[in-house]
Amino acid sequence: MCAQEAKIRSKEELREKWMKPDVITGSEVLLRSLLLEGVDCVFGYPGGAVLYIYDAMHGFSDFNHLLTRHEQGAIHAADGYARSTGRPGVCIATSGPGATNLVTGIATAFMDSVPLVVITGNVAQNFIGTDAFQEADITGITMPITKHSYLVRDAADLPRIIHEAFHIANTGRKGPVLIDIPKDVSAQMTTFVPALGPVQIRGYEPYKAIDENPIRELIEAIEQAERPVILAGGGVVYSGAHTELLEFVLKTDIPVTTTLLGLGGFPSGNALWIGMPGMHGTYTANTAIQNADLLINIGARFDDRVTMKLDKFAPKAKKIVHIDIDPAEIGKNVKTDIAIIGDIKSVLTAANLHAKPAGKADDWRNEVQANKRNFPLSYQDSETELKPQWVIEMIHETTNGEAIVTTDVGQHQMWAAQYYKFNQPRSWITSGGLGTMGFGFPSAIGAQMAHPERLVVSINGDGGMQMCAQELAICAINNIPVKVVIINNQVLGMVRQWQEIIYDNRFSHIDLAGSPDFVKLAEAYGVKGFRATNKQEAESAWQEALNTPGPAVVEFVVRRGENVFPMVKAGDSISDMIMGDA
C-alpha cells in the first residue's frame, strides 16, 4: 500500500471513529462535528464558560487547537487561515470579555466577506438574562456583523447547527457565522448523530440559475466599446475564478485593474494588468477608469477608497457592468447599466463561451500601455536612508513573488500592495474594508498553519505590530516559521501623512516614541530578531531571517517622513492624483 493510500485509509478510519453513535457530552459532539467538517486547526483561548469544551479536548489527539495569547489574535489567525485556503477558519472563546474581544475580528471578516465559524461559550441557560458573571449577549452584539448566528439550546442540535454554519459561512457571499453555546449545553449528554449530506435551509438559496440575457448584453457592449476597462475585486479570489478571469481577459484583450482585495486574482506579470485603482492607485489604472466608455466590475463593491468622489467616478462610461454574487451590491454606490448576479466563476465560465476581442479598442490599448510605461510607480531612492518602497521590492525579489504576504494597516500596507507583485490568488492577506490594526501578524500565523510548506511574510508597521505582538509567544513555542517584517518609521505613518497633506502639517498625537526595541522584544519571546538601518544591513538581515528555520523578526528603520504616492485626497476625484516628488 502506497503512502497516499495509507493516508486516505487512515482518514476514513478516523471518520468512522468520529461518527460512532456514542452517548457523549455536547462538548464532544462539538469537537467531533468540527472534525467531520474537515477542520484541521482551531484557534482559541479558554475561560469558564467553555471549560467543558476544553476538558473534552484533553487527550483528544485527533483535535488540533492552537492557544493564542489574546482572543483577537485567535480570530485574526482564523481569518488568515480562511483567506489563504478558501475554507472557513474556526476560533473559540469564552463568554463575556472573551466573546467581546472577538468583535473587531468578526467585523473585519464580515466587511471582507471571509468565511469564519466563531464559537463562543455562554453562561448556563438558567442564568441568561440575569447579568451573571461574564454574561454578554454576543448574538445580539454581533448581529450586524455576522451572516448568521445560533444560540444553541440542546446538545442534540449541535451536529445540524455546525453543519449548517459551515455551509452558510462558505456559500454565496461568504462571511462569519457565530455559534453561542451555553455552559449547560456543552455539558449535556446526548446520542451523537452526525449531520451529513447537502444542507437545505428554507429561504437560503445562495446560488441561483444565471440569467443569460445580461451576459449577452455584456458581450455586445464589449464588441461596441472603444475604451473598455475591467475592475476586478476580491470576489474573483473568493470564487476561485482567477483562471476564468485570465481566459476572459485573453479573449477580450481588455486592460485590468485589481482592487486591494483583488490583488493576485489576476497575474501582475500580465501585460494587460495596470495596477491597483483608487486613493493610492496607479496613474494608469485611475486614468483608465476615468476615460473608459465601458467599465466592467467583476466581484468588487465600488468601495469609497476606489471610487473616491462618487459623482466624478468614471464620468465617460456609457455603460457600467457589475457582476456580483450579492444583489444588494448592485447599484448600491454606482448606477449599473448591466447587472449580472451570480458566482463569479460561473458567470465568467458562461461569458467565456462567447467572449471576443474588443475590436474597436486598439488605440485605447496602446494609450493605456503608453501610460503604464510613462507613469510607473516610482519613489526617490536613497543611499543614506532606508526607503520602505525599496524594502518591499527587495522582499519581492528575494521571495520571487511566491510568498504568502499578510499586512497590517497603514502606509506599509499600501507600499506592499504597490511594490510586491502577486501572480497567485490567496497570496495576499490584508484587512481591506475595516482597516484593522493588529490584523497583520496573527493572520500570518493562521496562513502559516494552513500552509506549513510555504513562506509566509507578515509586513507590519511599528504601531500595528504592538497591538498583537504577544502572539510571538506561540510562534516561538510551536516553531511557526512566520517571517515578521516591521517597517519602523517611529510614527503613525498614514495619520501623519494625512495631517501633513490635508491638515496643513498640524501633527497631533502621532509620535510613537517609547515603542519597544523590537529586536529585544522578539528575543524576549524566544524569537530571533534583526535590525537594519541601511541597504547593506537590510539585505544581510533579511537573508539571515530567510535562513532561520523558525520564526524571525526583522525591523527596518525607515525615513519618518516618507509618504505613499500616488494619493487622492478624500473628497477629490481619482483624476486628482498627488504624484509625489518622483
Which active-site residues does the annotation give? 71, 133-134, 183, 494
How far is residue 16's CA from residue 20's CA, in Å, rounded to a whole number?
7
Query: Which is nearest to 456 in space by CA: 427, 418, 479?
Result: 427
Burial 130-156 (b: 16+ CB within 10 A, else e): eebebbbebbebbeebbbbbbbbeebb
Query: Which is nearest to 285 in space by CA: 314, 248, 325, 310?
Result: 314
List, as one string, the DSSP characters of 218-261.
Answer: HHHHHHH-SSEEEEE-HHHHHHT-HHHHHHHHHHHT--EEE-TT
- Specify the residue for cell string 463593491: 301
Query: Which is nearest to 435 in space by CA: 461, 408, 417?
Result: 408
Task: Reduce the DSSP state of residue 483 to 3 states and report it.
Answer: strand
Q: If DSSP states are collapsed to H, E and C, what string results for 493-509?
A: HHHHHHHHHCCCCCCCC
Contact 425, 265 (CB under 8 A): yes
- H/E element, 458: strand 456-461
Residue 16: all three cell numbers together: 468512522
Task: Reduce the DSSP state of residue 318 to 3 states and report it.
Answer: coil
CA 248 to chain centre: 24
